[in-house]
Structure 1
Amino acid sequence: MKCSYQIGILFICCFFSCAPAQKESPDAAEDAPKIVFVTGDEEYRSEESMPMLAAILERELGAETVVGYSLDSSGVIDPNNVYHISKLDELADADLLVLFTRFRQLPAEMAAKITDYAESGRPLVGFRTSTHAFRYTEEEDSALMHLNDEWPTRVFGQQWITHHGHFEDGHGRLTEVTLVDDQADNPILNGVEPFEAYSWLYHVDGGDWQLAGDSEPLLMGHSLRSNHEEAGRLDEFPLDNPVAWTKTYTGASGQPARVFFTTLGHPFDFKEESMRKLALNGIYWALGREGDIPAGGVKADFATPYAPNNSGFGELYKPGVRPASR
């Protein structure tokens, strides 16, 4: 009798241990954020780095991710097409916008989908050239020219000013990145170690310029080679500048939105685990998920192969790639 009882218990244990894992509860599925990545820069291969981050977030956060690209008329990714970005309709119900664009001249109705999102009070994350996300120069676009400088300053904390120079792009580290001492306990910096970036340092603070609003620097960059130093202009453009910060933006909704921004973003920067952790942690924080950031930072192992082309203008991006193939 005792033997039969033990066999029965063993059968029950085996049944439950071998049973398929239960699917996520409806509540868990509802908690999965929708993150829309808007790419479109002809220099830094955002069409490669942002899908890489999206894949990690799908794995680690269970996020629904959408990536919009600059496309040509046949649907092929063309970062040089400054007049188009796909998937902008997806921003209507997005929980987070991640922007990495440069000098776009989008039609007014496309630009409005981005700016309407910003005014909604939902969080934003921006990379590098989003300090100059738009560039309108034609008289017929005069109503959009506030997007050139005023808009990124209000939303992200700064506009395009200058940088310390790019020397042999992608063939050497040009910025030493360190943590701001009094921000060491900030969850965005969990697992982030000092590193040297391929990104040449952007000037955003110092001289006649300062970060706007309640911007709070998290990381500082020190230029390892500077054309401003060579020209004797360090009183205007010092060798040390913030490279990552948080702020809030209150738009038409009246609801303060969390904003995370970094001026880093060279395609080779993302080969650094600390850079990926910075980006992922910043996204978690923007979503209000800082409590879910592990002490060592979000797991940043690649979820898909990442072998980006180097930075640079012209035809240096991967040709003939369609979004569906990523």
Structure 2
Amino acid sequence: MRAFHSNLVLSFYKAPREQTDDREYDQPCRESLLLMPETPMSLSAALTLLRQFTPHYLTCLSTVLLMVASNHAVANEVLHLNLRTRAQVAPGMNQYRETLETATWQADQTAIVICDMWNDHYCRNAARRVAEMAPRMNEVLNKARSQGVLIIHSPSGCMNQYEGTPQRKLAQQAPRFQTRLPLQGWCYRDEKQESVLPVKVDQPSDDDGTIRKAVRFFDRQIETLQIKKGDAITDSAEAFYLMQQRGIKNVIIMGVHTNMCVLGRPFGIRQLVYQGKNVVLMRDMTDSMYNPRDEPYVNHYTGNDLVFEHIERFWCPTVTSADILGGKPFRFPGDKRQHLVVVMAENEYETSRTLPAFALKHFGAFFKITCVYANADNRNDLPGIEVLNQADLAIWSIRRRTFPQRQLDVLRKYLADGKPLVALRTTSHAFSLREGQPAKGLQQWPDFDQQVLGGNYHDHYPNEAKTFVQPLQAAAGHPILDGIAPSEFRVFGSLYKNHPLATTAAPLMLGRVAAAEMAEPVAWTHQRPNRGRIFYTSLGHPQSFEVPQFQRLLRNATYWAAGLPSPPLSPRTASLTQTK
């Protein structure tokens, strides 16, 4: 099928007392309406449009003129999108895993809405980030436009700059339609449907440490984004009416700010989802209004990620510009974070609850954090483990799992590439069964403990025996022990038997129980031939996460493994030292 640039002129009589465009008519009157000037439109869509008018307010269709300019024909193409959403890890758990699925959208049934990409902002860093992503966004618009996608520019509060232009008229001339729910000027959060947003916003807020008065610094859309023939300009519900007029079913939203206008504007995510559109957010072509000096005290770009996860959970999937342009998604130049992937596949010590919160609090200022959870319905499945291929650093908490070869290969490759690992407690026996053989199609890795961790797990002391641990005097000065007093302290969970360690392991901390004949190593580093930094601790009981010395140990070890100095302990203080 082909789509054409067309001029469609309707001449009609309006019925008495019919309200249209905020006017009432006491007598039938003859009017002409120019619809969709110079815009891509299929013949079937045009006929559908005509049928929409008849039952609503046309009593007589006197003249229809459809002029097809074949020299402007564009292919009615298909968009192939990779939709990222969130799925609950298990019923009753407040953890959600990333899921991916593919979708195919007809280009001529799709619109892109660009939200508030203004030419300036009271937040200097917000304005800078708009300028940084605008060139890539313009490439997306050019490619999508050539495929037949409708482009709607929505720089709120700037309509006077575009008054009288064909693009502005296109939106203004869209007829009003009945809606499934009343259209709202601003769609506020409904607490019955959506939880509180994960980042705090206090206005005025500027994440570069200075504050300009929150006044209007903008007067138009940033000029990097080209407005071309066939595009539309609006900052109101006209966008929805235009979509209805054009038979648009699918909407890609981009622009700023994700946690404010992108969600709440009359052309934003909430409104369009309420009205039944298939909506996606292009997550690498948007930015949130968030200051790391505010809760949850994480890097600005980690704040973005939290907002994306919120939207994926409550509202709609996300995509990236790579779905339109190919290649890699856009990344802000100031986003210098390493990628930390936390893998959890054990039920005994609740690390699927303790580790994500710990990671966000202590590493959110410097790392992009992705959590991978075992399948709650199949203990030997790690959905989404492929993200480990993108990781710079990993934390593993796994116990006696046998995975399919393709998943185990991802874990093996990560280590073979010489990347650093922080391993907790049961990870010493992560990939070996206590007895028997794995089911068909599943694989063990029985020498993982000795080969990778430099350990020697062979049992543990009774659960009821109290465990006390103490840094080794010989290891004093190691950065992993920084800030941990040399005195003994209590931890929880049974003491593991790991003595003797491999000669390539360097113990940092010993543990004891009253009945033990000797102390056992409970934390050490291991130097592997490929130089990948390895840290292991047999600690990790849920109550140990409340012990300050253990928190400091795990925190220091993670930064050490990443090759970074451990920042100030206060999350707020750490967030202020992030790279912008």
User: CA-to-partner distance for each residue in 1:9-49, whole Å, 9 max, x for gaps?
Assistant: xxxxxxx942398978955412x110111111121111112
Query: Which of 385, 392, 406 is the aligned partner of 1:109?
Result: 406
Richer in helix (by share) = 1
Q: What SS does structure 1 have at the residue aligned with 2:381?
A: coil
Q: Is the 8 A contact 2:404 2:441 kept in 1?
A: no
1:128 maps to 425
Q: Take 2:210 and 2:406, find their aligned partners in 1: how far apart are those partners? A: 54
Q: Is the 8 A contact 2:428 2:455 kept in 1?
A: yes
Q: Take 2:438 and 2:543, find their aligned partners in 1: how far apart are those partners? A: 38
1:293 aligns with 2:486: no
1:313 maps to none
1:185 maps to 477
Query: Which of 121, 138, 157 is the aligned partner of 2:437?
Result: 138
Q: What SS does structure 2 have at the residue aligned with 1:185?
A: coil
RMSD: 2.8
- Shift of the alpha carbon at 1:138? 2.3
TM-score by length of 2: 0.40
2:193 maps to none
User: CA-to-partner distance for each residue in 1:177-198, whole Å, 9 max, x for gaps?
Assistant: 1110022211111122342001
Change beyond 3 A, Cα 1:213–1:90: farther
Structure 1 stretch displaced more, 63-72 or 94-103: 63-72
TM-score by length of 1: 0.69
Richer in strand (by share) = 2
Q: Take 1:216 and 1:28, find their aligned partners in 2: how far apart are those partners? A: 37
Change beyond 3 A, Cα 1:246–1:27: farther
Residue type at the aligned position of 1:110: Q
Residue type at the aligned position of 1:38: V
Q: Take 2:379 and 2:525, find their aligned partners in 1: how far apart are those partners? A: 28
Q: Is the 8 A contact 2:339 2:393 kept in 1?
A: yes
Alignment of 1:58-73 (within 5 A): 58-61=363-366, 63-73=367-377
Change beyond 3 A, Cα 1:94–1:139: closer
Change beyond 3 A, Cα 1:260–1:139: closer
Q: Take 2:563 and 2:333, find their aligned partners in 1: how far apart are those partners? A: 17
Alignment of 1:223-234 (within 5 A): 223-224=513-514, 226=515, 229=516, 234=517
Q: Is the 8 A contact 1:175 1:223 kept in 2?
A: yes
Q: Take 2:570 and 2:450, find their aligned partners in 1: how far apart are those partners? A: 31
1:217 aligns with 2:539: no
1:45 aligns with 2:364: no
- Shift of the alpha carbon at 1:135? 2.2
Q: What SS does structure 2 have at the residue aligned with 1:243?
A: strand
Q: Take 2:440 and 2:451, find their aligned partners in 1: how far apart are those partners? A: 20
User: CA-to-partner distance for each residue in 1:210-252, whole Å, 9 max, x for gaps?
Assistant: 211411111111114x4xx5xxxx3xxx3x11110111223xx
Q: Take 2:527 and 2:440, find their aligned partners in 1: how far apart are those partners? A: 28
Query: Which of 521, 543, 547 is the aligned partner of 1:242?
Result: 521
Alignment of 1:305-324 (within 5 A): none
Residue type at the aligned position of 1:42: N
| Structure 2: gaps spanning 5 or more residues | 1-208, 214-290, 293-299, 302-330, 575-580
Query: Which of 254, 265, 277 is the aligned partner of 2:540?
Result: 265
| Structure 1: gaps spanning 5 or more residues | 1-15, 74-80, 168-172, 304-326
Residue type at the aligned position of 2:506: E
Q: What SS does structure 1 have at the residue aligned with 2:542?
A: coil
- Which has the bigger relative contact order, CA under 8 A and spacing at least 6? 1
Q: What SS does structure 2 have at the residue aligned with 1:83?
A: coil
Q: Take 1:156 and 1:142, find their aligned partners in 2: how far apart are those partners? A: 26
Q: Take 1:124 and 1:17, find their aligned partners in 2: how far apart are those partners? A: 38
User: CA-to-partner distance for each residue in 1:45-80, whole Å, 9 max, x for gaps?
Assistant: 11112112221244332x11111112235xxxxxxx
Q: Take 1:93 and 1:115, find their aligned partners in 2: how far apart are those partners? A: 14
Q: What SS does structure 2 have at the residue aligned with 1:256?
A: coil
Q: Which has the larger radius of gyration?
A: 2
Q: Is the 8 A contact 1:60 1:299 kept in 2?
A: no
Q: Take 2:212 and 2:348, find their aligned partners in 1: how far apart are those partners? A: 50
1:315 maps to none
